[in-house]
Structure 1
Amino acid sequence: MKHRELYKKVKKTMVYTKFYGIKNMIHRNFDKYQVNEQWYSTWFEQNKVTQEEIKIQKQQRFVYEPVISILVPVYNTPQKYLQQMIESVCEQTYDKWELCIANANPENLEVQIILDEYKKKDSRIKVVDVPENLGIAQNTNKAYEISTGQYIALLDHDDMLATNALYEVVRTINEKNKSEVIYTDEDKISENSNEHFQPNFKPEFNLDLLRANNYICHLFVFKRSLIKESEPFREEYNGAQDYDLILRCTEQAENIAHISKILYHWRMHRQSTADNPASKLYAYDAGERALQAHLKRCGEVGRIEKLDDLGFYKIIYESKDNKDLVTTVIKSDGEINYLKKCINSLKEMDYENLQIIVVDMGNQSSKVEKYYQFLEGQGIQVVKGQKDSFPATINIIKKQIKGEYILLLSQYIEFQGKKDLEQLLANCQREKIGVVGARSYYRNHTIRHAGIGIGGEKFSYRLFEGLPNMCKGYMHREALQQELSAVSMECMMLRKSLLEQIDGFDDKLGDEFAAIDFCLRVKEKQYRVLYVPTVVMRYNASYDKERIEAKNITIMMQRWKNVYENQYGYSS
């Protein structure tokens, strides 16, 4: 048995390496943030719907019970996979559905016989022949034409739904103000259907993450009224037609709901995109075009670039006004060499309209005093820290800050790119963006900051801290731009208007909690907090950990009880 398991693991690693490369294979196998497959297998068995729950769900009735039309384009699907897909729909605990299948090769007798048999068994199963095989988008449109449901769900011809998938969707629609877009978590399933692995636990709706990768993917359900066109799938985006549709639906929807349950099983075999991303290289070009069209509809301007990993993108946004004054406030402990590196990295930027203020939080020696005098001679303002608190000092010097945008920095931060400040500014200028943070790493090339999550005994945690800088983190999220709960004050750009609107930072908290508290209050004002990993900084001091007082943890837990309990901003 041990030899068989070892053989399977080695074979899987070889297949993965062939398609993703050695570097990504190392990330996958040695990244501590990846989900252990043995753990997940046990977790899945413990958390899947039980027979008792199935009986209860079949008897339950909802106030609103829409028909859900499930669209499936079929083309020469292997008999076993086709049957399992159809059975997974027939076994749903919610019964108001219709399965609309577009068969792109009616001459395949095996497929035709199976479809005919199921049509006779269940009138909810509809089939339309598409002998000309128009393409996946056009074929799916044919399935859409025979659908009648108020909601549309997308299912691939060789994948499977969890038995309670539609039940959970309809329950969510009823409980969350008739949500117009619903998506769920998903995992991969083996060819023999015996193994579940690679779970994708997703965050709540996250626009910037969606622009970096189609993280919504499966299961995706949308209200028919969101799409006005008679043919919702566009042939020019074949291969990424789902991504294009998801972008358009989320643009229109007022209520988007995420169901944090594994309700979709994505088949992994050699011909599938799940196992072999290189099998559909054209899809990633189509995804880039869909993303560009989405930005244009949203009135945003940015250059889209593919990342090394297929299916992932980064957007270099254009600054609305690259002449805006940015005030940089640097926290200094009197370590001159580090402060010099920080200031020099700012001056080397391709951005000249800077006001620099150094906040002295340390004990000055005569050498430090002379350097501060030198800075003042260069037009850099030096102010004395107040109450031994950087947040308190920021509140006090607000009137001395002239820029509409403020960049808070630690003296230990050294920017690595000449366009970094411009990228932070371009993102901060975007509509409803309130705070922007970046990625920092230690001199040993391990992550220091990649955003802050909410949860755990200490209330918050630094995401991906200690991960080697070459790794990507769970589902690549360390490397993808996205909205998060909070970012660090060691590199935080914010709007000055928000600092005044929210009445500054809580100066009773340490730097890290003051930053988190500020970010959460920004979110309450319906602004978003962004993590921009393409802005990379080196943290020049040795590894350290801010002392977190228990009383501050208590304050934060009480103040942000709802946020803490809901794990707002990041799914884990």
Structure 2
Amino acid sequence: MTISNQLRYSFKKVLIKIFNFPAHRINKNYQQWLKTPLRPAVAKAKAGKQGFGGAGHVISIIVPVFNTPDDFLRQCIESVINQTYENWELILVDDASILPSVKNTVREYTKKDKRVKYLFRQENGNICQASNDGLAVAKGEYIGFLDHDDLLWPNALYEVIKILNQKPHVQFIYTDEDKIEENTGKHVDPFFKPDWSPELLRSVNYINHFTVIKKELISKTGNFRVGYEGAQDWDLYLRVIQLLEKTGFCHPLNPKNPIQHISKILYSWRKSRSSTASRSGAKDKQHAYINQKKVLEDDIKVRNCNGEVTPTKYLGIWNVKYKIKGNPLVSIIIPTKDQYPYISKCLESLIDKSVYRNYELVIVDTGSSDKRVWQLYENIKRKHEKTKMLRWNGEFNFSEVCNYGVKKAHGDYLLLLNNDTEIIEPKWIDYLLGFAQQLLVGAVGAKLLYPNGRIQHAGIIFDPKNKINGLTLPDHAYKCRFNNIDYGLDNPRLYSMNNYLAVTGACLMIDRKKYTNVGGFDGQFQIAFNDVDLCLRLFKKGYFNVCIPDPILIHHESVSVKKLADSSRNSKFFEKELSILHNKWQNNINNDPFTSHNYWKIYHL
């Protein structure tokens, strides 16, 4: 049941790749995939012109220009002129370019098409000032942003207008994107983005291009902030979304969600040596990373949170470590039976290494016969005063065992922990608790490793090709990849905060009130998918489930109840519970907002 799953995302100042297979395979599959969707999409857009081609919302596209190579600038402008939706204006803001070809080309196109307009700044300022000048003269109800050497696909504005017509409440739209190789002009590196993912956006600017925002909303934020160059788009997105979160419910399941993701590639980012789409370009813009940290720190303050923005090994990927509010009691609930080598390591590592001390241990024993285990419990009670030893005498049912432990626990926060885990990060409770205290966060999961250093869990995914009896099987993202190997830019999502539909119950923290609000674990799931079901109920309630990379634990995985392939484990229960899961959550499983359906199409070519 092992699968590889990596999304791939990029952002303005550094090329980010997160696919779980080599880049050459990505691009080979992408070339094959391009042959089918591109022409039909454009043809459909042209046919749609008859419906609203020259009517409807005006979209103002702002392009700050500075010393752009002439052929790149012409291609950029032509990509707008060739849009199948016609009601737009293109505002070219030249930031005092030295190259004479820039002004000549701009004037040439303004004579050809009255929708092309220009501003010539008298002195060089920066991208924020140039963009704000464009905003000041823009007449469109919606604003799109385009870099001076990049391209829009012919159906880009058509797709945007189609969404605005279908969903007039939408105020913020973003699309998927790819890259263009400088020498060959070949389209490569597709980035199929997730739908609105708040934790990911506060870790990396995954939204990037192509973005269209209601002008009124941008004006309320005060436009681009000078001094945030290199991170100005990320800064704007976060400030706009802060406003949207105050006035509406931004969630993928909300039919009135003001944030809309168009799951189509509609923008191509040029990989020139001077562009940040290339690695060499990214290295020249260290100031961008300084400003990125400032952007995220500002976001934390505006949200009335207290946290530290910390860098990762990848420039441009950040994590937030939220400071704990107060000193709440955390109840760590551990169902267990025998398996002395594992439970002893779990409990001893927890007590010896955990920095956060206000926790109680709630051990629910489901029938141990090993005398060493019972002696271990006595020793643990002497080492940690807040320890409860409970006996479960009924038939094994993981969900009911956990619910029983919760009932006997006193903590405001619940931490469900498997008996075959081992703590290796001293601040694991602190990191989990900081997220669990966030208002819109449901379940918080952790990165788990096998003893050999390979990844066991980093979020739960639903590969449509990974089935049992025709039913999609939940599985772990990045499973069996090494955590400590540097894959270059192929695996940075392993170091960022991520939203998933579900995280594993092997290590899961949740606010007790939220757990109670959704009814705890469902007893129908006796041995499997209880965590997935819990997380999906949280998601349905409007919470976001999070997997964070900091609290790394070792997970020996299923040593108590064995693995599915073992004869001692009742596979009939497993298959029955998978069927129950699909009966309850078929639509969510088939439409995972955090993993694009187009990603899977390319993965399985």
Q: Answer yes or no: same fold by TM over 0.5.
A: yes
Alignment of structure 1 residues 396-411 onto 2, 5 Å: 396-411=404-419
* 2:58 aligned with 1:67: yes
Give the superposition deviation at 1:148.
0.7
Q: Is the 8 A contact 2:445 2:503 kept in 1?
A: yes
Alignment of structure 1 residues 138-287 onto 2, 5 Å: 138-192=129-183, 194-228=185-219, 232-253=223-244, 254=248, 255-275=258-278, 276=280, 277-287=282-292
Cα deviations by residue, 1:34-85 (Å, 9 ceiling, x for unpaired):
9621111111222214363243032222898211111101011001100000
* Inter-CA distance 541–502: structure 2 relative to 1 (3 Å threshold): closer
Which residue does 1:118 correspond to in 2? 109
* Inter-CA distance 381–542: structure 2 relative to 1 (3 Å threshold): closer
Q: Is the 8 A contact 1:272 1:279 kept in 2?
A: no
Cα deviations by residue, 1:351-397 (Å, 9 ceiling, x for unpaired):
11111011223541233333334444554222233421221112234
Alignment of structure 1 residues 329-340 onto 2, 5 Å: 329-340=333-344
Counterpart selection for 1:524 from 525, 537, 540: 540
Relative to structure 2, which stretch is displaced further, 501-510 or 371-380?
371-380
Distance 1:29 1:496 in 2: 35
Which residue does 1:47 correspond to in 2? 37
Which residue does 1:99 correspond to in 2? 90
Distance 1:53 1:189 in 2: 24
Distance 2:293 2:425 in 1: 25
Counterpart selection for 2:362 from 357, 362, 370: 357
Which residue does 1:427 correspond to in 2? 435
* 2:483 aligned with 1:469: yes
Counterpart selection for 2:582 from 557, 561, 568: 557
Distance 1:461 1:444 in 2: 19
Alignment of structure 1 residues 259-408 onto 2, 5 Å: 259-275=262-278, 276=280, 277-321=282-326, 323-347=327-351, 348-378=353-383, 379=385, 380-385=387-392, 386-408=394-416
Distance 2:120 2:220 in 1: 22
Query: Which structure has more RCO (C-alpha within 8 Å, separation ≥ 6)?
Result: 2
Alignment of structure 1 residues 15-26 onto 2, 5 Å: none
Counterpart selection for 1:483 from 479, 485, 499: 499
Give the superposition deviation at 1:414.
1.3
Relative to structure 2, which stretch is displaced further, 538-547 or 485-494?
538-547
* Inter-CA distance 193–47: structure 2 relative to 1 (3 Å threshold): farther
* Inter-CA distance 515–229: structure 2 relative to 1 (3 Å threshold): closer
Secondary structure of 2:548's match? strand
Give the superposition deviation at 1:550.
2.2
Amino acid at match of 1:330: I
Distance 1:428 1:290 in 2: 23
Cα deviations by residue, 1:118-165 (Å, 9 ceiling, x for unpaired):
101111101000120111111111121221100001100000001101
Amino acid at match of 1:570: T
* Inter-CA distance 102–522: structure 2 relative to 1 (3 Å threshold): same
Give the superposition deviation at 1:30.
8.2
Give the superposition deviation at 1:527.
1.6
Amino acid at match of 1:383: L
Distance 1:34 1:407 in 2: 41
* Inter-CA distance 230–483: structure 2 relative to 1 (3 Å threshold): closer
Give the superposition deviation at 1:231.
5.6
RMSD: 2.5
Tell me the matched-pair count. Answer: 549
Distance 1:311 1:373 in 2: 48
* Inter-CA distance 448–273: structure 2 relative to 1 (3 Å threshold): same
Secondary structure of 2:284's match? helix
Which residue does 2:444 correspond to in 1? 436
Q: Which consecutive residues of structure 1, in runs of 5 or more, have no partner in the other structure?
A: 1-18
Relative to structure 2, which stretch is displaced further, 59-68 or 250-259?
59-68
Secondary structure of 1:345's match? helix
Amino acid at match of 1:520: L
Give the superposition deviation at 1:419.
1.1
Cα deviations by residue, 1:438-469 (Å, 9 ceiling, x for unpaired):
00011111110111123422331211111111
Give the superposition deviation at 1:545.
4.2
Relative to structure 2, which stretch is displaced further, 242-251 or 359-368?
359-368
Which residue does 1:9 correspond to in 2? none
Q: Which consecutive residues of structure 2, in runs of 5 or more, have no partner in the other structure?
A: 1-12, 249-257, 566-570, 600-605
Give the superposition deviation at 1:494.
1.1
* Inter-CA distance 32–358: structure 2 relative to 1 (3 Å threshold): farther
* Inter-CA distance 28–515: structure 2 relative to 1 (3 Å threshold): closer
Sequence identity (%): 33
* Inter-CA distance 491–63: structure 2 relative to 1 (3 Å threshold): farther
Distance 1:531 1:304 in 2: 17
Give the superposition deviation at 1:297.
0.9
Q: Is the 8 A contact 1:63 1:174 kept in 2?
A: no
Relative to structure 2, which stretch is displaced further, 513-522 or 169-178?
169-178
Q: Is the 8 A contact 2:84 2:157 kept in 1?
A: yes
Q: Is the 8 A contact 1:342 1:415 kept in 2?
A: yes
Q: Is the 8 A contact 2:20 2:491 kept in 1?
A: no
